[in-house]
Amino acid sequence: MNALQHLENFLQALTSGLLTGADYGLMCVGLSLIFGVMRVINFAQGDFMMLGMYAAFHAVTGLGLTAVLGDGAGPYVAAILAGPAVFVVGYAVHGLLVGRVTGVAGGRLEGDGHHAQLVLTLGLALLLQNGALIVFGSSPAGIATSLSYSAWIIGPLAGDWVTLFINQAQTVSAIVAVLVMLLFTALMARTRFGKALRAAADNPHAALYMGIDVERAYRLAFALGVAITAVAGGLLALSTSFQPYVGIDYVIAMYAGVVLGGLGSVTGAFMGGLTIGLVQQLSTLVLPAQLQNTAVFVLFLLVVFLRPQGLFGRAVRQA
Amino acid sequence: MTMAKARPFLAIALFALAYGAAILLFDNAYHRLIITLVPIWAVLGLSWNLFSGYSGLISFGHAAFFGLGAYLVAIGAAQWGLSPWLGIPLAGGLGGLAGLLIGLPTFRLRGHYFALAMLAYPLALLSIFDWLGYQELTLPRRQDAPIAFMQFAGTHVLPLLSLALLVAAMLLTRWLERSPMHLALLAIKQDEAAAEASGINTRALKLKAMMMSGAMAGVAGGFYAVVLLVVTPGAVFGMLVSAQALTVAMFGGVGTLWGPVIGALVLVPMGELLQARLGDVIPGIQGVIYGVAIIAVILLAPNGLYWKLRGRPAIRVLTPRPGALALSPPDRGTDILVVEDVSRFFGGVQAVSGVSITVRAGEVLGIIGPNGAGKTTVFNLLNGFQKPDGGHIRFMGRRIDGLRPSTICRAGIGRTFQVVKPFPGMSVLDNVTVGGLGAAGAEGKAWAALEMVGLEDIAGRPADSLTSRQLRLMELARALAGEPRLILMDEPLAGLGAGETEELVAVVRRLAATGLTIVIIEHTMQAMVRLADRFLVLDHGRVLAEGAPEAVTRDPRVIEAYLGRKWMDHAAG
């Protein structure tokens, strides 16, 4: 292998890192609303993402979206529809379970309910994973679009040595992910709901006295957080196969991204997720494929040990 | 041994007999497997409990220790011809070592980050063992040496060994519950800072607990490999393993000997039998059961079945144990504590700048000053909660700046807090005993300290039922139990009524009369002028004035900065 081939490998890994990274970024945006802003730890975030994947899958196969919209656009619409579907689940789960150990209710528990949150959402993760196994079965599923097998080819460059393949499905997914992220940023910055939520997260008691329905704001935020991650899952499902236990592979990566981006910052979380995607793909240049996730874990540990305030955010108060 | 002391051992013996009899009753191979697995998961639950149940730091990573133990035994048997009889103890050693290596960096993290990092270790190990090519490792049949490889002809031997392992783990837990380490871990669980300030080296203790817990989990994993004969990364490092450790302990009862055993007895057979009966139709039913069990426990009985059934421990009536405090003070008048030019910044704010204080043995030094003057920061620098950015501190001739709070406490500086820091779930006696754990005879010292402050009659009451006067006295007794040479009291009268103030003042005077050196921060000037031999006034992080109370309270700078005109009128009038 000569230097140019190395360059080609590097550029290819960089491209796919950026493309999957955008999806990771969106996943992290969803989690940052829950973990970064509300300081609720949700171990089941990856499993809500898995629900998003199956929601998109069933929207494609069950609703016949591809028949109506064509197999180019149909799956993307399905991925977006995963959002509202998981939003409803998230809203119910928060109302019935998570809300009882977080927020104002959590404040009454030992250690602000942190211990209870950790354990409760672990139970939720087990329930969702195994419940999905019962409902959806264990065989890997995937959503194919007409774009999944097509790529834009750049090159050959540098005298036939460097040719890049850019997967079209992944590229469109990345664009959709960025658009959803921008939409969400606008929602948080511009709307009454966004302001109420930021106030409720910053100081629940003060917000309560200002007439904000804090419990409802939290419930909506939790539902919105898992819904955004679910959309990211739906987009990811277009280029990867999945099964009910897929969430656990992503949950550490998501937390790594949120912490890396600095808690409480939406754009930071997106950049954090992007970085995780890049690290994961670039690690394949030097590490065997099985150790991709290990590379992410090591990065996560390095970040929490060395720079818990994140790389992108300003230093924030410790929880 | 008296009856009361023998009872827990009797209970363990009865349980072992009953379980042993049950083992002999089962002939069906599948039921025998379940009855072998229950003790293994109970041991893993006890291991989790030993660390997380007592210390309160939630570990989602016990699969790391379990899996390392399982792989050590499996690789040993398959590749090195190593007998499990040796392999399992080695697995314990490996688990302990992993506990040390994981604990050293991870204890720097708190709360959420600690839990997440702990989750990452087994998952990282899972992919590493996958990559190493151990996707499925089978322990070979060794007909040449069946007993050396725990492949017994008698079908009841393995379940009985499993039970023996559980009994050993229960006895170890029982020993821990009777050791000073138990009380110290409970103190860490309730208030780590207060535990550290009371002389407990929290870091070393957590490491010790993590190593013991890791060793126990490693042994459980090693034995699991022998029982199942096949080891896969997912089965031993997977999230379900860590979850199972936590679930059996939390379901049965956190922080108890019997909790994890009860949890395993209920949940393991339930999950396994449902899996066997319905697993083909409803795969994942076991995971659903564990998930539902965890959620139900958290919402309905956050401390587990054991506590739900047993209820809150009643108020105990305790018989005092004779003990004495050696508060032998150094020679009166010598310089016991010398603070030289100490500074501390927070960001750009100078909380304390260039402060020098000399405390003489046997005196009561009162520190006064307006809010935000840096009084509590000075205490935090003295007891090691914060490290000075400049200057040094000597106590009885020894440099103490930069030492751990627990080391400073053991060197002879006790302290109380502006906002009381009790261990709310513990009895008054236990609260105070924590302060004396640094030396032998802690309970006797605790009784002596309680007598000094007049709380011996309520020694058996839970701390969260006390009034603020009693809490302040209890905190003082906790500091005294460590046999300090000098005691730092941060606003001991805050929040007390007039009569209560008098009582506390009387106690402090009594302590001063024994020759104990006292440095006290207080705003109640009426009490302060009666208590202190000397005043030191802090303002904006600097020493404003120092000297006899009469002189200091007439100093115009002090009046302007702190006492105010009213004081002058009052003093004049």
Report the C-alpha gap between B392 and B343 in whole angstroms: 9
What is the CA A245 to chain-centroid distance, rounded? 16
Find the angle CA(B427)-CA(B255)-CA(B205) to the nearest 5 degrees.
Answer: 85
Are B123 and A300 within 8 A, CB to CB?
no
- What values do phi and psi take at B231, rounded to 5? -125, 130
pLDDT above 60 for A319? no
**Is the confidence metric ipTM above 0.90 for this complex?**
no
Element (H, E) at A19: helix A3-31
Give the burial class of B82: count Cβ atoms within 10 A of its Cβ; 0-12 exposed, 13-18 middle, 19 or more buried. middle
pLDDT score recorded for residue A39: 78
CB-based contact B190:B424 (threshold 8 Å):
yes
Average pLDDT across chain A, whole number: 83
Please give the interface size between A and B, counted as residue pairs whose CB atoms are below 8 Å apart. Answer: 135
Partner residue facing A130 (CB), from B123, B246, B287: B287
Kind of pairing between the strands at B517-521 and B364-368: parallel
pLDDT band at A317 (very low <50, low <70, confident <90, very high): very low
Q: Which two tokens stand for residue B538?
A: 């802090």
Provide the percentage of residues in chain B whose pLDDT is more than 70. Answer: 96
A43 to chain B: which residues are within 8 Å by CB?
A: 60, 119
* pTM exceeds cut of 0.80: yes
Nearest by CB to A118, which of B108, B115, B295? B115
Task: Please give the torsion angle defined by the CA atoms of residues B179, B182, B188 and B194, in that order, rounded to the nearest 10 degrees.
Answer: -50
Which range has the worst mean pLDDT, A3-7, A306-310, B147-151, B287-291?
Answer: A306-310
Query: For A234-248, what is each residue's pLDDT tens digit?
Result: 999 988 889 998 888
Chain A residue whose CA is closest to B286: A130
Please list the residues that pair with B536 across neighbouring strands: B367, B546
Query: Which pLDDT value is given to residue A103?
Result: 65
Measure the N-to-C terminal CA separation of chain A; round to a whole number of Å: 50
> To the nearest whole angstrom, how far is the Cα of B101 from the nearest Cα of chain A?
14
**Non-local CB neighbours of B498 within 8 Å, separated by 6+ positions:** none
Tens digit of each residue's pLDDT (9 = 90 or more) over B220-263: 999 999 999 899 998 999 888 988 898 888 888 888 889 899 99
Q: Where are the domains of chain A?
A: 22-244
Encode pLDDT of B303-326 as tens digits. Answer: 777 777 776 555 566 777 777 777
Distant-in-sequence, close-in-space partners of B564: CB < 8 Å, separation ≥ 6: none
Q: How many Å is the Cα radius of gyration of chain A?
A: 20
Say if residue A307's pLDDT is above 80.
no
Q: Do B112 and A127 touch (CB under 8 A)?
A: no
Q: Identify which of B127, B246, B299 has the shortest CB distance to residue A290.
A: B127
Q: Where are the extended beta strands (E) located within chain A?
A: 151-157, 162-167
Structural domains present in chain B: 3-236 (no CATH), 361-385+403-572 (3.40.50.300)
Residue type, A207: A
A122, B60: Cβ pair inside 8 Å? yes
pLDDT at A112: 55
Residues of chain A contacting residue B283, judged by C-beta atoms under 8 Å apart: 133-134, 137-138
Lowest mean per-residue pLDDT among A77-91, B44-58, B305-319 = B305-319
Which residues on chain B are in Cβ contact (under 8 Å) with A305?
105, 108-109
Looking at residue A165, its pLDDT comes to 83
Q: Do B116 and A255 make contact, defined as CB atoms within 8 angstroms?
A: yes
Residue B396 corresponds to which tokens in the numbers above?
A: 């009885």
Euclidean distance between CA atoms B122 and B127, whole angstroms: 9
**pLDDT score of A318 more than 50:** no
- Among chain B, residues having any CB pair with chain A shorter than 8 Å are 56, 58, 60, 105, 108-109, 111-113, 115-117, 119-121, 123-124, 127-128, 130-131, 239-240, 243, 246-247, 250, 282-288, 290-295, 297-299, 302
Q: Count Cβ atoms below 10 Å from residue A309 Cβ, excluding itself.
A: 15
In angstroms, the CA B100 to CA B86 distance is 21
Nearest chain A Cα to B132, which residue?
A: A290
The whole-angstrom separation of Cα A63 and Cα B533 is 85
Tell me the pLDDT tens digit for each residue of A136-161: 888 888 887 777 777 788 777 766 77
According to the model, what pLDDT value does residue A238 have?
87
CA A303 to chain centre: 18
Is the pLDDT assigned to residue B27 strictly greater than 90?
A: no
Instruction: Report pLDDT digits (tens) over B421-435.
Output: 998 888 999 999 998
- Residue A68: Cβ-neighbour burial (10 angstroms; 0-12, 13-18, 19+): exposed
Q: How much is the pLDDT for B311?
A: 62
Q: Select the residue from B119, B298, B423 to test the A interface by mutation, using most A Cβ atoms within 10 A.
A: B298
B120 vs A252: CB contact, 8 Å cut-off? yes
Residue of B nearest to A40 (CA): B112
- Percentage of the residues of chain A whose pLDDT score is greater than 70: 91
Tokens encoding B76 = 């040993």
Handedness of CA B198, B200, B202, B206 (dihedral sign): negative
The closest CB to that of B58, out of A115, A300, A305, belongs to: A115
What distance in Å separates residue A50's CA from the closest CA in chain B?
16
pLDDT at B1: 47
User: Sign of the CA dihedral B86, B91, B94, B99?
Assistant: negative
Tell me: pLDDT of B267 over 90: no
Residue type, A30: G
- Which range is least confidently modeled, A290-294, B144-148, B302-306? B302-306
The two three-digit tokens of residue B393, written as one number:
């501190």
Contact B573, B549 (CB under 8 A): no
Lowest mean pLDDT among A207-216, B401-410, B499-508: A207-216
Residue B97 has pLDDT above 80, yes or no: yes
* Alpha helix positions (H), B253-369: 258-278, 285-300, 305-310
Does the structure show a pLDDT above 90 at B54? no
> Across all residues in chain B, what is the average pLDDT?
87
The answer to whether A288 contacts B127, with C-beta atoms less than 8 Å apart, is no
E strand or H helix at A146? none
- Beta-bridged to residue B360, according to DSSP, are B335
Q: What is the pLDDT of residue B25?
A: 86
